[in-house]
Structure 1
């Protein structure tokens, strides 16, 4: 596994190291020891799968607060998605900054999402399927979210949003935040 750190501390793109032969290839997609060697949390409490009928479908931006903060390892297993994470750690120098990564069945990359990062994605293809490995159980009382179109965040989604849940469309807009005052 190859770990590529992003501009958001603790967030990594993880690429495979395929071992090819005449049959195809073999590659490790998860290794607790390798994650821990990079200072990353390796616990898995749940694995989730989402399937999206239509390109343009948007899911997110979700995160959980203490005591159920969670890490996620996100991989697109069919089609393609544009995956976005936002740093929600108020003490972080990259607080409220975001990155976007294209994850596809072809590139087989994964995105490691640290605790206190909001996460969401947009399906770039019909039939996009996404596998999540999550470190904590879903805890409704700790769930929080951000609006995908919040002007304070300025996330540029690649497609017009064709589908979104009522809950995801209703997250409140962030107010202007003064850091360090």
Structure 2
């Protein structure tokens, strides 16, 4: 009788272990739900009433130079985010809005292209109704081709640079276009057309 009870207990234990083991294996083999990647925020233009016709990044090419606006964030200059950038790079921050951009510029021409003391002309402009004004990063003015906060830059033929650039702006937000002008060659793209 004792042998029968031991066999029953052993069989029950094996059955329980088998079922439990199967549950564990089943749970272990169950696929985990795929993590959804957070969408990349490239702009906050809609916060200022600007409805895009085209999505960023936007590339404009003129005179063998391409300018790609990767990201743009408009902030009140007095905001904590703007103040952090202003202090970090030494911007003046005197306009109502502080505009932070991520850009890529590429020289596909056969000549050096630059914006230094040798050539002070603006090569690209951001226009909302009037021009946004480039802000000088006082703590980076001696760095040519800074990847943190652009001021002076110089690109040899075939050279490319990804960096950040700041602007100040006081005007209204009625449109948004990116304009590139290199040695008399001018091109532009409306990201946001004129608000009617």
Normalised by the shorter chain, which TM-score bucket? under 0.3
TM-score, scaled relative to structure 2:
0.26
TM-score, scaled relative to structure 1:
0.27
Bigger Rg over Cα: 2
Larger helix proportion of the pair: 2
Q: Which has the higher contact order (CA 8 A, sep 6+)?
A: 1
